[in-house]
Amino acid sequence: MRALIQRVIDASVTVDDCITGQIGPGLLILVCAMQGDEEASAEKLAARIGKLRIFRDDAGKMNRSLLDTGGKALVVSQFTLAADTRSGNRPGFSAAAPPDQGRALYEHFAHSLRDLGITVATGEFGADMQVALTNSGPVTIWMDTADRG
């Protein structure tokens, strides 16, 4: 699975003029299930993100995790993280998991974060979403559970 993680002061996702998920301080996590991913991939990614030390400690160093701070997570499905831009002007998305599998892994990822004790809000899988955020830092990190070359 792939994720783009942004440390935020606040973030929200809106579908059809209705807010479907909203958080205060924490992480906005854009996530994409890839071909070949399994539930173990979602669990591994959730565990890594929950323990990722990108929040400031009392000395101002990035030394605390989402679990340490009690921050929240806003998880948004983002199949375009699978974009292949190596040729032409139009990205290809064939590396993304099929929609049914993508939805199941997206939901399992959010559930795995909740199992760690993290409060999770979500977007709506497959919907046209508007995402708003105030990035803190800015801190933006790319993660992938597999070495895809």
Catalytic residue ranges: 78-80
Inter-residue contact 146 to 100 (CB < 8 Å): no
- Other Cβ atoms less than 10 A from the Cβ of 58: the count is 7
Q: Which helix (H) or strand (E) holds 103?
A: helix 99-115
The DSSP secondary-structure symbol of 83 reads -
- 100/78 Cα distance (integer angstroms): 14
Q: Amino acid identity of 139?
A: V
Inter-residue contact 69 to 56 (CB < 8 Å): no
- Other Cβ atoms less than 10 A from the Cβ of 112: the count is 20
The DSSP secondary-structure symbol of 63 reads E
